[in-house]
A = this chain, B = another copy of it.
Amino acid sequence: MLTDDEKFFHNQKLTQKECRKFAIQNAADIIAIGFDLKKTFIFSDMEFLESTFAAAFNENVRELGKRTTANQIRGTFGFTDSNNISEFHFPAMQSATAFATSFPFIFGYDTKKVSKIPCLIPCAIDQDPYFRQCRDYAPKMKLPKPAIIHTVFLPSLKGSESKMSASDADSSIFLSDTDKQIKKKIGQAFSGGQETLEEQRKLGGRTNVDIPFQYLTFFLEDDEKLEKLRQDYESGEITSGDMKAECTEQLQAYVRAFRDRRKAVTEQVRAEVMRPRQLEFRGMPSEEEQKASRKSKFAALVNALSLDDIEFLRQEKASQTP
């Protein structure tokens, strides 16, 4: 779920068009992280709502919205009367993503069966209130409570006391940074080393505040090597410069590999991942079930289109498909 609508509601300056554009870019970046695309559906809220496949999703949004009072939103998100009504309403959208029944084109149209499929939400802690509220409503809707797994934030390059910020380029590594920029940024990162080489040799570095070491805990896959770096740094055997060099190398390799994968994400790949479609996974609806469910899946669309419209769709799609 790319919440381009929420971005629009919260930000006074951005237009819908701009928010949609960001969502498209974000999708390509997320795909480049390396997901199994046969198991991955990414959607922009605005685009998904237009796709005719959001019927079940919208049904859940309405159920959730009806069960959520303005008072609860105020309490959970600290909203005031000056917040706009779309902001108040958005949590119902966010919560609907946590139920398999919102996505029958993936999980199938057998509501009774699909109602039992649980949901795991990996998110940063700032998203927690949305799903905490969602967990409260799930039993009332006779749906399973989603489970939440909180991901750890990367600290700011300026030290764990300060915050990463998109407006301060030196506070974080961007996936668009060049090798040179990465080297410079890590060189300036907050260090847990001592002021002089002599002190470093004697007292050792403090890995618990050393940002290059902290980053290595995320990006260095080799745990033995990481442990050795920790010991050598704390004992004063290696310097901040050594730690920064190791971190720079790992990050450059990571960003370089990302850049290569990002290049492989063509517009066609992105569009396909964002197309509401059957995913492939253990327990997916059988081919028979898929066939049987097509009638309900497309009922609204069959009503809304004329034969002439459908012929036009066919021609358009055929001309796009190589």
A residues adjacent to B (C-beta < 8 A): 5, 8-9, 16, 46-47, 49-55, 58-59, 62-63, 65-71, 73-74, 79-86, 88-89, 91-92, 271, 274-277, 294-295, 298, 300-307, 309-314, 316-318, 320-321
Report chain B residues within 8 Å CB of A305: 313, 317
Tell whether A81 pairs with B88 under 8 Å between CB atoms, given A300-B50, A317-B307.
no
Determine which of B85, B304, B309, B311 lies in contact with A68 in the assembled complex, contact meaning CB atoms within 8 Å: B85
A277 closest partner in B (C-beta): B306
What separation, in Å, do the CA atoms of A7 and B70 have in the docked complex?
A: 18
Contacts A66-B86, A85-B92, A88-B85 given; does A59 touch B301 at CB 8 Å: no
Q: Is the CB of A71 within 8 A of B67?
A: no
Q: Report the Cα distance A73→B89, complex, angstroms.
A: 13
C-alpha spacing A88/B312, complex, angstroms: 39
| Docked complex Cα distance between A54 and B50 (Å) | 7
Residue contact B86 to A86, C-beta cutoff 8 Å:
no
Let me know if B85 and A89 touch, CB within 8 A. Answer: yes
For A63, the chain B residues whose CB sits under 8 A away are: 16
Given the interface pairs A62-B5, A295-B316, A298-B309, the reply to whether A51 lies near B82 with Cβ below 8 Å is no
Q: Contacts A50-B52, A50-B54, A71-B82 known; A65 to B317 CB distance under 8 Å?
A: no
Bound-state CA distance A276–B309 (Å) is 12
Q: Of B8, B67, B83, B271, which is within 8 A of A62 by CB?
A: B8
Measured in the bound complex, the distance between the Cα atoms of B311 and A9 in whole Å is 38
Check A307/B295 contact, CB under 8 A, given A50-B300, A52-B51. no
A52 lies within 8 A of B304 (CB): yes
- Which interface residue of A49, A63, A84 has the most chain B CB atoms within 10 A? A84
CB < 8 Å neighbour of A81 from B51, B74, B85: B74
Count of identical protomers in the assembly: 2
Q: Are A304 and B69 in contact (CB under 8 A)?
A: no
Instruction: Report Cα–Cα, A89/B62, bound state, in Å.
Output: 11
Could you say which residues of chain B place their CB within 8 Å of the CB of A271?
303
- Which B residues touch A9, using CB under 8 A? 62, 65-66
Q: Which residue of B lies closest to A75 (CB)?
A: B81
B300 with A312: CB separation less than 8 A: no
- A to B CB contacts below 8 Å, 18 in the list: A46-B58, A47-B300, A50-B58, A52-B301, A70-B79, A70-B85, A71-B81, A74-B81, A275-B304, A275-B306, A277-B306, A302-B313, A307-B314, A307-B321, A310-B310, A310-B314, A313-B313, A314-B314
A53–B84 CB distance below 8 A:
no
Is the beta-carbon distance between B318 and A307 smaller than 8 angstroms? yes
| Bound-state Cα–Cα, A36 to B305, Å | 21
Q: Which residues of B contact A54 (CB under 8 A)?
A: 49-50
CB distance from A44 to the nearest CB of B (A): 11
Complex interface: chain B residues within 8 A of A310 (CB): 310, 313-314, 317
Provide the residues of chain B in CB contact with A309, threshold 8 Å: 298
